[in-house]
Amino acid sequence: MKQDSSPAGPADREQLEKRKADAARRRKKRLRQQRINRICLIVVIVLAVVLALVAGAFFYVRHLRKGVSTMFAAAPAAAATAVPAASAVPGTQAPDLPSEPEDSGNQPESTEQPSEPGQSLLTAGGTSDYQLSDNIVNILLIGVDYAEERLTEEWLDEGGSSAEHADVMIVLAINFDKQTVDMISLPRDTYAKIPGVRGIYKLNASLDCGGGLYEKDENGKPVTDEKGSFIVNRKGFEKVCESCSRMIAGLPVNYYYAVTMPAVKQLVDAIGGVDYNVDVAFEMNGREYAAGPQHMNGQGVLDYLRVRKAASMKGASQDDVGDGARVNRQKEMLVAILNQLRSNGLLLKVPEILKSFDGQMFTNCSFDQTAALAMYAYDMPTGNIKMWSMDGTWTSKRVARLNFCFTDQEKRVSIIKQVYGIDVPQDRECTMAYAYYFWNDLVAERYLSTSHPLYKKSASGSELRKAYSKVSNLRRACAESAERYLAGESDYLFGAAENLERANANLKAAAESAQHHLGSSGRLDFYSTLERYNEIQVDPS
């Protein structure tokens, strides 16, 4: 049969365009997955590499050993402004309620619209109610999920995200009197309140909320100096410190070391690799690693510190899988690096190590402070390192269409007590129950605002008016329940929030039906609640 060579018709062109659109969506999804897969949990290596400085700073030894604690008594250097601590006591006011009356059928219509959404989401900074002991200093280790290819036009044109998340956050509570270090790991997906920023975010978004890794122009492109190098945005790191400070009851976190992902291989390779007994066989991006003692190069260490999924492991038990297991491997790798640095003379390696940090490590600590920490860590028995994880429960209810890790508040209180000797209350504002209520309250506010013009046109006793009034009344009742919940006077909040969620859905359906019957034109914007309420737009992954 002769093949039809006639030009493609409209249907064919439509199919072609559809296939192109599908391919673009798949490509964007693939790029996003690749970015997630590159998340690194390697920041603890910074502490190990810092020890190398001791070889080149031997003339500081006596001075540093005598005065290490006094070096951190004051605020950080002016080059990095001290981070104000956030308030430790929950108490954010409930959102303003709409002024619509109950619909009795005879009441006059109100022309007042619901209050502007989002006003209640501002989290004020402040001073902590708790004092940090003079012999303890908090230093934050930050691992930045960043790669240079994300700044290229090709990456952005393909739909890739340029967001720079703080995907590793570990508070080092250094007790100079006891010569101990407590490492408090804060999961990146933690549901968090970012001080001074309106919205709902994961903790790893704190870097983005502070402006990201590099300073950017009005178009969002990184700014370079006269040498063509990107200008580091210190406010981003300060916002991470401030957000992590809130997690530990507002105790100050004024110092930080941050490292980006591209530095990992360079760092480990610069010290000649590390001998390590790998606990589980695994595969990463086509590279396979057997279990058992072996010498690992930079790529191997990076892959090992990233692996956490069962699909990437061979013969792994449930205890080997997940972020908790990955944090434990992180600690063991740190100990191995510390031991290797002690056993090998690294004086000749110092230039290579410092070079490997070039443009990939950031800190507001001075050279003297860094050298003092190196000496302190060098003298400290490895058994004096304790590891804590302020983890919790993954949400069983969707909040802001995202999956969060909600901190186990009892565990958080216990960790703060054991590390700092301070009794603090639970932060109920960051619990699953409050977050679930909070999100549905925001949705209610948006739905009321969107439905208000149709409400005014609808007849008394209509389904829309009934649905509108029900949501208004439930918001008031939920706000009262939320206030009692935050005050610790009641644990009843989930049920009230579920009722509000169902009422929201009914209001949306009634408004869409009313629009059809009233012949109103235009799209009812129920759909962009998250975008509207988040002051800073961040890739939510």
**pLDDT digit string (tens) for 84-117?**
333 222 323 333 334 444 444 434 344 344 443 3
- Element at 255 (helix H, strand E): strand 255-260
Residue 520 pLDDT exceeds 50 = yes
The pLDDT-based confidence of 377 (bands split at 50, 70, 90) is confident
pLDDT at 342 over 80: no
- At 103 the pLDDT is 45
Residue pointed to by tokens 């690749």: 34
Mean pLDDT of 424-438: 94
Higher pLDDT, 182 or 525: 182
Confidence label for 324 from pLDDT (cuts 50, 70 and 90): low
| Residue 348 backbone class (left: φ over 0; alpha: ψ -120 to 50; beta: rest) | alpha
∠ at Cα 145 (439, 355), nearest 5°? Answer: 155
Please state at what angle helix 494-518 crosses helix 432-457, rounded to 10 degrees: 20
What pLDDT is attached to residue 10?
Answer: 64
Say what the pLDDT of residue 51 is: 44
Q: What is the pLDDT of residues 42-67, one digit of tens each?
A: 445 554 454 444 444 444 455 555 56
pLDDT band of residue 349 (cuts 50, 70, 90) is low
d(CA 527, CA 190): 25
Q: Residue 29 pLDDT more than 70?
A: no
pLDDT, tens only, 240-265: 999 999 999 999 999 998 888 667 77
Tokens of 237: 């790191």
State residue 168's pLDDT score: 85
- What separation in angstroms does the CA of 235 have from each of 122, 208, 535? 19, 10, 16
The pLDDT of residue 526 is above 90: no
Confidence of residue 496 (pLDDT cuts 50, 70, 90): very high
Spatial separation of the C-alpha atoms in residues 150 and 255, rounded to whole Å: 28
Q: Answer whether residue 509 shows pLDDT above 60.
A: yes
Domains of the chain: 39-86+123-390 (3.40.630.190), 93-122+427-541 (no CATH)
| Mean pLDDT across 477-484 | 96
Residue 401 is predicted with a pLDDT of: 77
Has this prediction a pTM greater than 0.85? no
- pLDDT, one tens digit per residue, over 381-430 is 778 888 898 989 887 677 887 889 999 999 999 999 999 999 999 999 99
Measuring CA to CA, how many Å separate 254 from each of 197, 250, 311, 511?
A: 19, 11, 39, 50
Q: How far apart are the C-alpha atoms of 374 and 356, rounded to whole Å?
A: 17
| CB neighbour burial string for 90-122, b if at least 16 within 10 angstroms, e if fewer | bebebbbbbebeebeeeeeeeeeebbebbebbe
Give the contacts of 56 (CB within 8 A, at least 6 positions apart): 347, 350
For the chain, the helix, strand and coil percentages under 3-state DSSP, each to the nearest 5 = 45, 15, 40
Q: Which range, 124-133, 150-159, 248-257, has the best average confidence (pLDDT)?
A: 248-257
Rounded mean pLDDT of the chain?
Answer: 76
